[in-house]
Amino acid sequence: MTPLKLYLLRAVYDWSVEQGCTPHVIVDAKGAGVQVPPAYVHDGQIVLNIHPRAVGRFELTERALSFSARFGGRPFDVEAPLAAIRAVYAKENGQGIAFPESEEPGPPEPEHAAESRPRPVLKRVK
């Protein structure tokens, strides 16, 4: 099954570009299989501009986001497995989506456990 995260990444990316915005991703630079320039990593994460004018050979697959870009004038091939991508958003307005650190679904709850939990409450915020 194709991961939902892939569709969400594509949707925010496409929307950003169509609106004339600059799509950015936040990547966990310590994640398995991540290849990013270490000099640009801050607090274990890196923010990457993925606008079509900023990157070459852009590819977003079920496995990873990959592209080539220049960092400090030097070319670098970037690879970020989907599991390492923490967020995608438009730089100009901050709209986008953040993803949880753990993407492994937990075990299904027994049917009777749902009955004992308190029901969620919605509150109107002005």
120 lies in a domain? Answer: no
Question: Per-residue pLDDT tens for 90-102?
Answer: 999 999 999 998 6
107 lies in a domain? Answer: no
Could you give the CA distance from residue 5 to residue 12 in angstroms, rounded to a whole number? 11
Question: Cα 85 to chain center, whole Å?
Answer: 4
Q: What values do phi and psi take at 72, rounded to 5?
A: 60, 30
102 lies in a domain? Answer: no
Spell out where 2-55 has E strands.
23-28, 45-49
pTM for the complete prediction?
Answer: 0.80
113 lies in a domain? Answer: no
Residues of the domain holding 43: 4-96
- As a whole-number percent, the residues of the chain with pLDDT over 90 amount to 78
89 lies in a domain? Answer: yes
In the chain, how many domains are there?
Answer: 1
85 lies in a domain? Answer: yes
Give the pLDDT confidence score for residue 106 in this predicted structure: 45
12 lies in a domain? Answer: yes
What's the CATH number where 83 sits?
2.30.30.220
Could you give the CA distance from residue 49 to residue 77 in angstroms, rounded to a whole number? 13
48 lies in a domain? Answer: yes
Compute the mean pLDDT over every residue in the chain, rounded to the nearest whole number: 90
